[in-house]
Structure 1
Amino acid sequence: MNKENQKPMIKGIVICVLSLVLLICIPFINSLISERQSFQAEVTNEVTSKWGQHQTIYGPFIYVEYQKEYVLKDNNVVKKTNTNLIMPINQSITGDLKTQIKKRSLYEVTLYNADLMLNAQFQNLETIAKKLKLESPAEFTKVKLIFAISDSRGFMQQITVNNTPSLVFEQDPNLENNSSLNLLSCDLTSLETPMTEVSFPLQLKGSTQLNFLATAKQNKVNLKTDYSDIKYIGNYLPDTENQEISQTDPSWTIFQSFPVNTNLKDTYSLEQFSYGLEFMQMNDFYSKVNRSTKYALLFIGLTFATFFFMENLKNLSINLLHYVLVGFALCINFVLLLSFSEYLGFSIAYIISASATILLITTFIYGLSKNLRISLTIFGLLSLLYAFLFFLLQLKEAALIVGSVGLFAILAILMYFSKRMNFNKSKNS
């Protein structure tokens, strides 16, 4: 094979290397996406800090203190104060969630008002004392009802227990815990009749997420919400998952076969029992733009392959500088997509950026070739490629199989056209 015949093969190798080199731009684009996401998080935090952030409902629990005598090695007897956090046997939460969208700068934050009713049933104090190996409930020095939410700025009213004005939750600074929870308590020590059933209304504000804790033996949650795009989070799926009922009425029924044992200093360990819902943003364009950059090599490689075949089959003259300029245009497409998405949403931004890139490359090729047929062929191929990627980005579970089948079909087409190229022909043939 003489030097003239080697030129197409050498140029093809150089173009492959150039495609990989252009991928250096992608980390910078991803960095830009991360920067914009960080700015979105700052705006979201600014809004939620004045309203109420993610909420997790802790409780209600019964907190008891008692003293026990211990014999030391020197036969001295000392008394030590012990504490225990008693979980309910049954707990149910029902209520409505009303959402509102707060716009700040370019971003939207989902805020909610929750109007809930909490009901809990506990074992009587005699049973609790027996489990703690005490002779009687009289040995309890303190008995309190404990309750908290993760962001106390979300409280909208004072909480009255069992519709009894004398039983209200108040902040208790004497309750020490290793978390940032502001614990509320209601003193039950002086009650003549021990309380085994507890109910109280809860009105609170929050944003984006609402979580519960499956700390009772039997847990039930039934909610109604006006928000349709819900993601279930935590360690338990709702009863409504994968069923043909309204997603705006989620419910959970959770049974714990083993008791949860903890104390106030270990309340953070209760997070392993969390479950709830997240109000997803309808236009999560950052994740879609980030996904689209993962197909950068596909875009650059296929576009360059199309140019290479056209150059050799149609006797065009496209030098490496032209390839570089087209490659940069493809990379800038992602920046256009990101910037327009913040204002117009992903779908419209994709149409604008893809159309602009396709028209730019098509007119560029027409200026080089002065051949309308070749330019329209490039236009059609790029349009199909961008349409295929848009369809792929809309898929979730099926994205892998559709993408792999699509790539296989594209490879088959490239192999078919490569058969029409003869690298061994002589210069004068």
Structure 2
Amino acid sequence: METQKQKKSFGQWIKTSVTIRMLMVGILILVLLIPLSYIKLLIQERAERQQEVIREINQKWGNEVILYGPILKIPYQIHNPQKLWNEETKSYIVEDKITIKNAYILPNTLNIDSDVDVDSENLKRGIYKSAVFTADMDIQGAFTTPDFETKDIDQEDILWNKATIVLNSTNLKGIKSNLQVQLGLETYSLRSRYSQNNHTNTLETKFLKETSLPKEKTINFTINLKINGSENLQFIPVGRETNVVMKSNWCSPSFNGAHLPDSKTRTLGPDGFKVNWNVMETNREFEQEFYGELPQLSSAAFGVELLIPVDDYQKSERTAKYGYLVIALTFLVFFLIQTISKINIHPFQYLMIGLALTMFYTLLISISEHSSFLYAYLIAGTSVILLISVYSKAILRSLKFMGLISTSLIALYAFIFVIIQLEDYALLVGSIGLFLILGTIMMVSRKIEWGS
């Protein structure tokens, strides 16, 4: 009889002990970290799948575009006298060994007028889409007479008859027009040439005619280029003075690279943007002429990146990072209600509430793939709040407590939504919000009789 009473009293202590309840709630929170970790992996997997599909779309349409040129290429001779022993005469003879190198002359002026038409709806695969564009460019400028004397190159060593125009681009596949350059009064076609440079592809003309060479006067050039690309459009400021005007119907540009557009003339609105770059020779880190090899100058490129306005996977991932906080605070509210009202809540019921909270993130991911993030957040949040509110009414048997649970969840989800929308002030707002939440909990719990 005494043993049964001891067992009964021990079982009653287990049910009523605040310490035991706290330990069980803590263990359940740790257990729920497992499905939360799987949800984070799911978000990462879907995001990687998105990037994979976007890469496939871009490869077929046209990758990012970096334009490098046009540049005047002029071969020249270098004399290397060498002493050779002649067995017949038993004396040294001097033989002139000639090697051919190239001089790359950058244009004196370079003006680019670019009209970038973005239509991401035309290139979608399933639920994924990429920011692809078609750019119509009008490229104009002029070459002045190069000064070979600074390199001690005699005029008779300059092979003017082998001079050509070269144009480098990272995306030859995207070119959608017969590319020609008008040089003076002559027109030359640009053809693909093999290049050992893995970063760019080379287009080059045939040998230029005498009337197209800037031997004694400035020669103007014009190129009309239509090219497909994706995400990035950039230019290398090869002109002594480079002016680029770009307009587009895309409303989410990110101006990047070594130079930013003129802020005074920049216009940006819901219908697109129009910007202007002006880069002088003194603003860049390379000279106007290269002898021997043409270097890689991609570090000097500038332009625009066409951003997808909403990255739902990134926002979902940021939301999931607060999953621990949501579960812990929700359990804490139920625990305080249980302690104050003396209503017993079974650990299994805590587990069901925790699983309902984790379902929010799977709903958010799946709905946001087919709708906007805002609608997905509202639908997922409303569904979970209603589910937990109805469940709390059943286990707590009180409309007052159900209202408290609903209000707490609404405030918590609204707080998290505000945080993930912020960039610069997310940490500040989050810290202030958590401080207020902690203060509220301390005020509510200060008069609770904790017992054993």
Query: Which TM-score band applies after superposition, normalised by the shorter structure?
Result: 0.7 to 0.9
SS in 1 for 2:17: helix
Give the C-alpha shift of residue 318 in structure 1: 1.8
2:254 counterpart of 1:231:
yes
1:32 alignment partner, SS class: helix
Whole-angstrom distance in 2 between the partners of 1:157 and 1:4: 81
Partner of residue 52, structure 2: 42
Q: Distance in 1 between matches of 2:60 and 2:267?
A: 37
Structure 2 CA distance for aligned equivalents of residues 390 and 264 of structure 1: 58
Structure with the greater alpha carbon radius of gyration? 2
Note the 1:283-298 alignment, pairs <5 A: 283-298=310-325
Give 1:64's match in structure 2, choosing from 67, 70, 74: 74
Distance 1:36 1:84, change over 3 A: farther
Query: Counterpart of 1:161 in 2: which secondary structure?
Result: strand
Structure 2: unaligned runs, 5 residues or longer: 1-9, 85-93
Which residue matches 1:254? 279
SS of the aligned residue for 2:80 comes to strand
Report the TM-score, using the length of structure 1 for normalisation. 0.88
CA distance in 2, matches of 1:131, 1:394: 58
The aligned counterpart of 1:111 is 132
Question: More displaced, 51-60 or 317-326?
Answer: 317-326
**Which of the residues 158, 168, 187 maps onto 2:178?**
158
- Matching of residue 338 in structure 1 with residue 344 in structure 2: no
1:140, distance to aligned residue in structure 2 (A): 3.0
- After TM superposition, what 4+ stretches of structure 1 lie above 4 angstroms from structure 2? 2-6, 71-77, 163-166, 241-247, 260-267
Q: Distance in 1 between matches of 2:95 and 2:336?
A: 94
Q: What does residue 221 of structure 2 align with? A: 198
What pairs up with 1:90-105 in 2 under 5 angstroms? Answer: 90-100=109-119, 101-102=121-122, 103-105=124-126
The alignment-based identity, stated in percent, is 26
DSSP 3-state at the match of 1:148: strand
Note if contact 2:75-2:101 (Cα within 8 Å) is conserved in structure 1: yes
Q: CA RMSD in A?
A: 2.9
Show the counterpart of 2:22.
Answer: 12
Say whether 1:146 aligns with 2:166: yes
Q: What is the CA deviation profile of residues 353-375 of structure 1, one whole-angstrom value per residue up to 9, with x for unaligned ones? A: 11111112112222211112111
- 5 Å-filtered alignment, 1:79-98, equals 79-98=98-117
After TM superposition, the structure 1 stretch with the greater mean CA deviation from structure 2, 226-235 or 68-77, is 68-77
Is the Cα–Cα contact under 8 Å of residues 184 and 211 in structure 2 kept in the other structure? Answer: no
The 1:271/1:259 distance shift into structure 2, 3 A limit, reads: closer
Taking structure 1 as reference, are residues 187 and 412 closer, same or farther at Cα in structure 2, changes over 3 Å only?
same
Q: Distance in 1 between matches of 2:43 and 2:365?
A: 7
CA distance in 2, matches of 1:287, 1:262: 44
Count of residues in Structure 1 that have an aligned counterpart in Structure 2: 420
Q: Distance in 2 between matches of 1:339 and 1:87?
A: 53
Q: Is the 8 A contact 1:54 1:207 kept in 2?
A: yes
1:341, CA displacement in angstroms?
A: 0.4
**What is residue 392 of structure 2 aligned with on the other side?**
365
Question: Which residue, out of 198, 216, 226, partners 1:179?
Answer: 198
Q: 1:401 deviation in Å?
A: 1.5
Shift of 1:78: 2.9
Distance in 2 of aligned mates of 1:115 and 1:393: 38
In structure 2, C-alpha distance between the alignment counterparts of 1:404 and 1:242, rounded to whole Å: 39
Structural mapping, 1:183-332, within 5 Å: 183-195=202-214, 196-240=219-263, 246=269, 248-257=273-282, 258-260=285-287, 269-332=296-359
Secondary structure of 1:318 counterpart = coil
The match for 1:352 is 379
SS where residue 151 of structure 1 aligns? coil
Paired with 1:131 and 1:30, the residues of 2 have a C-alpha distance of: 62
Is the Cα contact below 8 Å between 1:177 and 1:265 reproduced in 2? no
Maintained 8 Å contact 1:215/1:273: no
Asked if residue 375 in structure 1 is aligned to residue 425 in structure 2, the reply is: no
CA shift for structure 1 position 124: 1.1
* Contact 1:167/1:186, CA 8 A, preserved across alignment: no
Amino acid at match of 2:261: P
1:262 is displaced (CA, Å) by 6.0
Specify whether residues 51 and 27 from structure 1 end up closer, same or farther in structure 2 by C-alpha distance, changes over 3 A only.
Answer: same
Q: Which moved more, 1:369-378 or 1:98-107?
A: 98-107
Give the Å deviation of 1:108: 2.4
Equivalent pair of 2:117/2:134 in contact (CA under 8 Å): yes
